[in-house]
Structure 1
C-alpha cells in the first residue's frame, strides 16, 4: 500500500469560524458518501508539506500566500481514495487566518468540481452539535488546541 502525504488547511476567519467543504460523492468509489472536510490535498513530487499547503490554499480557496507556518497537527490512517485505491494517508495541518469570507473555486480540478458541493464557515458550537460527518473527527479539540496556543503566544 502506498503512502499518500497531504497538506490540510485550517482556514479560520476573524470570528473564529473554520472553512469546511462538503464532499458529495456520486460516481466514484465513494459513491453515496457525504462529509465535510478541510481544504487541502496531496503533496506533489518534489514538494514539501508547506509548499503543498500554499499551493492547495490557492487552488481550493483562491487565497494567495507565499509563506505558511509550521504544521500544528498531523494524523496517519488508512483511507480509500475516490479512485478506489487504498492508501496510508499522512496528513499535516496548517493554520491560515483570513480577513474575509471570500472563497474562489476557479482553480478547482475537474474531480474537485465533481465532489465539492458547498462550503460553510463553521463555528465551534455548530461543530459540537452537528449530526453531519466532519473530518478530522476531533475538529473541535483541534481548534481549541490552536486557540490555546495562540492565546499563550499573544
Structure 2
C-alpha cells in the first residue's frame, strides 16, 4: 500500500469480489471503463465490486455481475486469484482487497445501464463490455486489470483452477 503520511491513519482496504466469467467457448467477459471526465484514459477489467453490509464475497460477486452485465445464470466456482491494489479514480484513492471467483455461464447476452442496476458512478465511467478469447486478450495493446490477466487466463484454461487461490503481486497505480 502507499506509504501513509506521518499522523495519517492507515486506509482500510475495501473488500471486493470480482468474477472471471467464462462462456462455453472459454471467452472471458470484461468491462470497458474510463476515468470520468477523460474519455482517453480507458482500461478493461473483470466485473465485480465492493461488498455491501452483511454480504459475503460470493453474494457480492453474483450481485455485482447481475448489476453490471445483466447475467444471472451463473455457476460460481472457487476463488482463483487474490490481490491488493490501490489506484486513483474519480478524484479519490481506492485501496482494495480483491478476490477473483471463477464462474461459468451459457448466458452470453448482456445488458448494461440503469436498468441493470448501475450506480451513478458506473453510468459515468463504463463504455461497454465484450467477450474476449484468450488469444485476443494476449494480443491486446490496451490496458487490462489485473495487468497479467492474459497470462493468468491462459494458465487457468490450461491447468484448471488452482488448489488454493494464487496471490498476485500488489498493483499500486
State TM-score, norm by structure 2: 0.76
Q: Spell out structure 1 runs of 4+ moving beyond 4 A.
A: none
Q: State the shift of 1:32 in Å.
A: 4.5
Give per-residue Cα distances to partners, 1:90-131, cap 9 Å, x unaligned: 100011211132012222222212111121111111111111
Where does residue 121 of structure 1 map in the other structure?
131
Which stretch shows the higher mean deviation, 5-14 or 141-150?
141-150
Contact 2:13 2:96 survives alignment (8 Å): yes
Give per-residue Cα distances to partners, 1:5-40, cap 9 Å, x unaligned: 11111111111111111112232xx77421011111
1:149 aligns with 2:157: no
The aligned length equals: 147
CA distance in 2 between counterparts of 1:66 and 1:128 reads 25
1:68 aligns with 2:79: no
Query: Larger Cα Rg: Structure 1 or Structure 2?
Result: 2
CA distance in 2 between counterparts of 1:11 and 1:72 reads 12
CA distance in 2 between counterparts of 1:134 and 1:95 reads 17
Q: 1 or 2, which has the higher strand percentage?
A: 2
1:101 aligns with 2:111: no
1:8 equivalent among 13, 18, 41: 18
Q: State the shift of 1:143 in Å.
A: 1.2
Q: State the shift of 1:71 in Å.
A: 1.1
The change in CA–CA distance for 1:66 and 1:31 in structure 2 (over 3 A counts) is closer
1:50 equivalent among 54, 58, 75: 58
CA distance in 2 between counterparts of 1:56 and 1:26 reads 20
Contact 1:50 1:70 survives alignment (8 Å): no
State TM-score, norm by structure 1: 0.85
